[in-house]
Amino acid sequence: MRMAEAGIKLTGAGFAVAGKVVLAGLDLDLTEARIGIVGRNGSGKTSLLRLMAGLVAPTSGTVRVAGLDPARERRAILGQIGILFQNPDHQILFPTVGEELAFGLTQLGQSPAEARHAARAILAAEGRGAWDHAATHTLSQGQRQYLCLLAVLAMQPATLLLDEPFAALDLPSQARLRRKLAALPQRVITISHDPLAVADCDRVIWLEAGRILMDGAAAPVLEAFAVEMARIGEADADADLQP
């Protein structure tokens, strides 16, 4: 695994869709080992994650991952960025677990035979060797999420981007995923609307209406975020988000 010392750098980064501004004026230098991004639904969290992963290009400013433009140099950043979506069904491409794990390895240059061998070794190391030929649709939600994580980690990215990773999981699945994530050597950037999901992060960024409202150590940012969310909850919480 190659840690990206330079991290992820956004300079004046913005993103708009059909003339509607989603993100604006983001200046961030992300180098900490554990980073959380919080905000209400519609605040731009997922769009920011997609910018960092190169799934969309900024409409203003720049985004760099270890000095690379993720939207233009997709193949070059394969070893730098991995992304885990909230819904594993939006990520799984192949009918069996072994095929799903092997796919990313072939993208890194391994032969199909090498990739299948490596996939079996990964499953065996995880105590899930029996999954190799299992149909992906037969796995539970938590198992599919875990498979997606294993597929991403197989490519040994320096930074892992997580989009609401615990939202659809039951409590045992959440506990297993938290344990796995805590042990990773990678930089982990987690977006969530739940303060508990990022409470142990080294740094937390609070997005509001596509802009950075607060950025710093987890405790003060999350305290301020919780107070504001409680205040909004006492009012008509979604009135300001109406089109």
pLDDT at residue 203 greater than cutoff 80: yes
Residue 229, token pair as written in the block: 């969310």
Residue 21: CB partners within 8 Å, gap ≥ 6? 14, 15, 210
Residue 231, token pair as written in the block: 């205040």
Whether the Cβ atoms of residue 198 and residue 38 lie closer than 8 Å to each other: yes
Count of C-beta atoms within a 10 Å radius of residue 109: 9
Residue 200's alpha-carbon distances to 35, 74, 130, 212, in angstroms, are 9, 31, 34, 20
- Residue % of the chain over a pLDDT of 90: 67
Question: pLDDT by residue (tens digit) across 40-66?
Answer: 988 999 999 999 999 999 999 999 999
Alpha carbons 136 and 147: distance in angstroms, whole number = 9
What 3-state class would DSSP assign to 2? coil
pLDDT average, residue stretch 195-215: 95
pLDDT average, residue stretch 141-169: 90
pLDDT at residue 33 greater than cutoff 70: yes
pLDDT at residue 243 greater than cutoff 70: no
pLDDT at 70 (0 to 100): 94
pLDDT at 3 (0 to 100): 42
- Closest by CA to 10, choosing from 154, 135, 189, 174, is 189
pLDDT at residue 114 greater than cutoff 90: yes
pLDDT average, residue stretch 180-208: 93
SS3 content of the chain, % helix, strand, coil (to 5): 40, 25, 35
Residue 86, token pair as written in the block: 């909230």
pLDDT at 4 (0 to 100): 41
pLDDT average, residue stretch 112-129: 93
